[in-house]
Amino acid sequence: MWRALAQAARGVTVSIDCGPRGFTLTQQLLRHSKGSRHITTSTSSRNHQPPSKYGNMSVEKPKVVFVLGGPGAGKGTQCSKIVDRFQFTHLSAGDLLREERSREGSEFGMLIEDYIRNGKIVPVEVTCSLLENAMKASGKSRFLIDGFPRNQDNLDGWNRQMSEKVDMQFVLFFDCGEDVCVQRCLGRGQSGSGRSDDNMESLKKRIQTYNNDSLPIIKFFEAAGQVKRIDASPDADNVFGEVERVFLASGF
C-alpha cells in the first residue's frame, strides 16, 4: 500500500513509501515528462495559444478548468472539441496514469493497473506530479484538467501542490445518468478501446467510487459557485453547443 511520507517545500518533491524501497517520486516522473501522448492542443493557427509564463512563475498564472463527470459521460469527447475551438490544452489524469502505467521501467505500472482495474483513485502524489510535469512540458497557459480532482485526497493534494500556481476558472461538470454512462463505456470497450476498465465488473466499482468520492467534490465546488453544469445526455454535437456557450460567456 502506498503511503505519502513527506512533501517538500512548494510541493515539488514528494517521497512515497512503496513497500520496502523508498524513492523520490518527482525524480521518477520528471525524467519522462517530455513529448507525452496524452497532450492534445489545437493546431489551428486561429487558435494559437499564447506561450506559457509557467516556467519562470513571474507573470500571469496558467488558467485551469477542471472537467468532471461520471465514467463515460463524454469528458474526453468534449475536451477534444474544446481544444479545436478554444485555446486550451487537454490533460487527462486517466490518460497520464495509463501512460505512466505503460512506460517501460515505471515503478508504478502494476500499482496503477490495480487501481484502474478496481476503479480506485490513485494517490494524489502520483497524479498531481504527472499533471504538473505535463503542464510544464506543454509550455502552454490554458489547461483542461480532465478527471481530476476525483476525491478529497486529489483535492487536498492539488491545494498543497498547485492551487497557488494556477488560476482555476471553473469546474465543467458533465451530468449524465448512470445507465447512459455504462452503455457508453461498454460501447467504447466493444469498439476496441483496449481499456482494462471498460467492462461491467470494473464499471460497478468506478460508479461506486464516483458516487461516494467524486460527487462530494463536485458538490463542494457547487457550493462555492464554481460549477458550470452541462446536460451530457444529448448527442455530442448538442452537448458541445452548451459547452461552447459556457466558454464564450466566460470570456474565452
Ligand X SMILES: Nc1ncnc2c1ncn2[C@@H]1O[C@H](COP(=O)(O)OP(=O)(O)OP(=O)(O)O)[C@@H](O)[C@H]1O
Ligand Y SMILES: Nc1ccn([C@@H]2O[C@H](COP(=O)(O)O)[C@@H](O)[C@H]2O)c(=O)n1
Q: Point out the annotated binding site.
A: 72-77, 98, 120-122, 147-150, 154, 188, 195, 206, 234
Contact 127, 11 (CB under 8 A): no
Interaction partner, residue 69 (ligand X, ligand Y, none; CB < 5-8 Å by kind): ligand X
Site for ligand X in 24-53 (CB under 6 A): none
Q: Which residue is nearest to ligand X (CB)?
A: 74
From residue 176 to residue 215, the character string flagging contacts with ligand X as x (rule: CB under 6 A) and all else as - is --------xx-xx---------------------------
Residue of the chain from 63, 85, 142, 150 that contacts ligand Y (CB under 6 A): 150
Residue 130 binds ligand Y, judged by CB under 6 A:
no
- Give every CB contact of residue 24 below 8 A, 6+ residues apart in sequence: 13, 14, 15
C-alpha cell at 168: 482555476
- Give every CB contact of residue 179 below 8 A, 6+ residues apart in sequence: none
Residue 116 binds ligand Y, judged by CB under 6 A:
yes
Residue of the chain from 93, 135, 168, 207 that contacts ligand Y (CB under 6 A): 93
The b-or-e profile of 133-145 (16+ CB within 10 A means b, else e) is bbbbebebbbbbb
Residue of the chain from 72, 123, 149, 157 that contacts ligand X (CB under 6 A): 72
The binding site for a ribonucleoside 5'-phosphate consists of: 98, 120-122, 147-150, 195, 206
Length, in residues, of the chain: 252
User: What is the spatial distance between Cα 117 and Cα 122, in angstroms, rounded to a whole number?
Assistant: 11
- Give every CB contact of residue 77 below 8 A, 6+ residues apart in sequence: 236
Residue closer to ligand X, measured from CB, 54 or 228? 228
The binding site for CMP consists of: 154
Closest by Cα among 40, 71, 68 to 230:
68
How many residues of this chain interact with ligand Y, rule: CB under 6 A? 17
Beta strands in 127-208 (DSSP E): 142-146, 167-175
Chain positions contacting ligand Y, by CB under 6 A: 71, 93-94, 97, 115-116, 119-122, 127, 147-148, 150, 154, 197, 206
